Amino acid sequence: MPYLYDHRKLAVEMELYFFEEAVGAGLPMWLPNGCVIKEELEKFIKQKEFLGGYQRVSSPHMAKSELYEKSGHLRFYKDDMYPAIKMDNLDYYLRPMNCPHHHKIFSSSKRSVKDLPMRLAEYGQVYRNEASGALRGLSRVRGLCQNDAHIYVHPDQAKAEIISVLKLHEECYRELGLDGYRYRLSKHEPSSSEFIGDKKIWIQAEEILRSALIECGLSFFEAEGEAAFYGPKIDVQMKSFSDEGIREESMGSVQLDFVSAQADRFNLEFVDNGGESLHPWIIHRAPLGSHERFVSMLLEYYDGQLPRFLCPVELIIYPLSIEAMKKAEEIQKELRPKGVRVKIDDRLGSSLSKRIVLGSRLRPFASMVIGEKELQSSVFIVEERSKKRVELSFWKNLFS
């Protein structure tokens, strides 16, 4: 089970991000250490998506009101969107989600059943007008970058593709060392007008998600009324620290959308083998959710002691003299081409114990002290956070 700490405190110690009044509440400013975590996570999932047949796209941060009227966001989600921006006598909105843009990318060319499943992926920046009282560090923000993708499938392909997505979720969480999360099947509320589309198809879509979870051997619980307005979804719920105690947050999701492609929405079509035009179903998926919330969960889960590839500082060096400083700079220069993030603590006027206490706030993966003994013997010892001690020459080879 995860250890739970407040990521806001960890972020200050680790120098990850901050909020600036002149920029606006809920709009994080990422510092270099925070960007390391973001970018390494992005590399991690992009490689998996590439191997999974995803194609990367990029789309604007805003669009005309027409796009969001068509998608239904202005009807069902307007309270969570930023107010309109007036330009050329038209209303533009900062996008709350990436899906309407991706639908337009799908429809930019004629598609056939041979093109399906079509997997379009983007780390897309979106904006949500969260109430000021709900904002909380990185876990609840107004500007967020989502690990988004939309998969366009023949309805007969939906279940197999959802199983593939769930396996991707499990692979990611396993490699990141996560535990203690659970799956929620989020269904529609039959008596509510907030869920659009044929009720029979809602039931069919929910059964597809349910059977995919069962076939993957994943335990789950069901929650009525938690679906998106365009279709049911599977949410991955993870425990998170909050001011009120421990709560659950969604860190990823898989949504089955049978509404957006229809003629009264985006009229997305593909031609089947018999020449007939059909509407695809759409799977919205985000295994890592948003950078912001996912990073907050990782920090709280690990108390900032992140897996090595995510550590903003992989090796911190404490030189004890000017000569030792020169040696530290040599080591840093040698390791940098290998992609190793090395920080040199240059506070020579402070005691070593104080420097180590301050350096440990950054949660480095490993540390090394260079003094007269090390310079004389040319034996430099790296101590990993597990207390494992290895010679620098051996440690370097791990990154060859």
| DSSP states along 173-234 | HHHTT--S-EEEEEE--TT-TTS-S-HHHHHHHHHHHHHHHHHTT--EEEEET-SBTTB-EE
**Euclidean distance between CA atoms 206 and 8, whole angstroms:** 37
Give percent of the chain above pLDDT 90: 80
148 given a catalytic annotation: yes
What pLDDT, on the 0 to 100 scale, is given for residue 45?
Answer: 97
What pLDDT, on the 0 to 100 scale, is given for residue 4?
Answer: 60
pLDDT at residue 1 greater than cutoff 50? no
172 given a catalytic annotation: no
**Exactly one of 7, 73, 99, 142 is catalytic; which is it?**
99
**Exactly one of 284, 285, 291, 355 is catalytic; which is it?**
284
Q: 390: domain range?
A: 313-397
**Exactly one of 233, 279, 293, 363 is catalytic; which is it?**
233
pLDDT at residue 237 greater than cutoff 50? yes
Mean pLDDT of 88-111: 95
| CATH code where residue 117 lies | 3.30.930.10
187 given a catalytic annotation: no
Q: If pLDDT is split at 50, 70 and 90, which confidence band does 3 have?
A: very low
Domain co-membership, 207 together with 232? yes
73 given a catalytic annotation: no
Burial class of 395 by CB neighbour count within 10 A (0 to 12, 13 to 18, 19+): buried
**Euclidean distance between CA atoms 102 and 151, whole angstroms:** 10
99 given a catalytic annotation: yes
150 given a catalytic annotation: yes
**Exactly one of 150, 187, 293, 363 is catalytic; which is it?**
150
Last residue of a domain, one of 238, 269, 302: 302
Give percent of the chain above pLDDT 70: 97
Report the predicted TM-score, pTM, of the whole model to 2 decimal places.
0.92
Last residue of a domain, one of 267, 302, 337: 302
What pLDDT, on the 0 to 100 scale, is given for residue 197?
Answer: 73
Domain co-membership, 237 together with 342? no
Mean pLDDT of 224-235: 86
**Exactly one of 73, 111, 145, 148 is catalytic; which is it?**
148
101 given a catalytic annotation: no
pLDDT at residue 245 greater than cutoff 70? no
**How much of the chain is helix, strand and coil, in % rounded to 5?**
35, 25, 35
**Exactly one of 73, 128, 136, 279 is catalytic; which is it?**
128
Q: If pLDDT is split at 50, 70 and 90, which confidence band does 2 have?
A: very low
Determine, yes or no, domain membership for 2: no
**Exactly one of 145, 146, 265, 285 is catalytic; which is it?**
146
